[in-house]
Amino acid sequence: MPDGKSYLVTGAPGTGKTVLCTQYIYKGLTQGEKAVYVSIDQKPAEIIEQAASLGWDLAKYIEDKQLIILDASPYFGSRVGAGKEKQVDVSKVVADLGAYVQRMEATRVVIDPVGPLILLRDSTARIQDQARLLVLSLQSQMRTTNLLTCYAVPRVGEVGPHGVEEYLVSGTILLDMAWNSNQLVRTLLVEKMRSTGFELTQHQFSIVREKGIVIIPRL
C-alpha cells in the first residue's frame, strides 16, 4: 500500500478485519514506526488481549510511547443535532486524532470500524456526506497511512459493497468466507489499489499465531 493514503477493509464479522488491522500496526511498530489505533466497538484492553493471543505484545509499545489505542466511545455520548439528526462530529474526531498523530509523530492509523462514525438513521445522502468528510479530512490533515474497516453488506450481482467511502479511498480489501471442498475458509480479495499492479484474485488465507494473516499459496 503506497504511504500517505487511506484504505478500506470490508468484511462480515469473523472474517479477520481486526486481525489485519492489528497485524498492520504491529508490523510498523517492529520497524520503528509509531501508530494510533482508534477502537470503536471494543475497549483498548480487548485489542491488547486479542493481540496477545496471537503472540503480539502491544503493551510494551504503549509503554514506550510508540503506540496509543484510543477509545472512541465518548464521541457517541456527545453527538450534535437533535432527534434522528444526531451525528458524530467527524471534524472534531479528525482534529483530535490529528493532535495525537502530530504529538506522537505517528505514521500509521487504524479506525476500527469506521461505520459508526458515518452511519445515520436518515438519508443516504447525509451518510455519504459524513463518509466523504471523514476520508477527505484524514487525507488533507494527516500524512499517515490509514486503514479503515467497515462491515460488508453483500449485494446480488456485485463483488462487494460499494459505498461512497470505497470510491474515495485509495484501496479496498474485501475479506470473506467461502466453501471449499465442504470446508468453510477465509478469503481475501484486493478490489482496488491505486498506483499499483495487483491481481483481481480471491486468495485463501489462514490466521497463524505470531504471523497473523498468511496467504495460502495456490497449487
Residue 164 lies in a domain: yes
Residue 188 lies in a domain: no
Residue 212 lies in a domain: no
**Residue 35 contacts residue 199 (beta carbons within 8 Å):** no
What is the pLDDT, as a whole number, of residue 219? 61
Query: What's the predicted TM-score (pTM) here?
Result: 0.86
Residue 196 lies in a domain: no
Q: How confident is the model at residue 174 (pLDDT cuts 50, 70, 90)?
A: very high
Residue 213 lies in a domain: no
Taking only the tens place, the pLDDT of each residue in 7-25 is 999 999 899 999 999 999 9
**Residue 202 contacts residue 210 (beta carbons within 8 Å):** no
What is the Cα–Cα distance from 149 to 167, expressed in whole angstroms? Answer: 14
Tally of domains within the chain: 1
Residue 61 lies in a domain: yes
Residue 75 lies in a domain: yes
Domain of residue 12: give its range: 6-173
**Residue 135 contacts residue 6 (beta carbons within 8 Å):** yes
Q: Give the pLDDT mean for 115-135.
A: 72
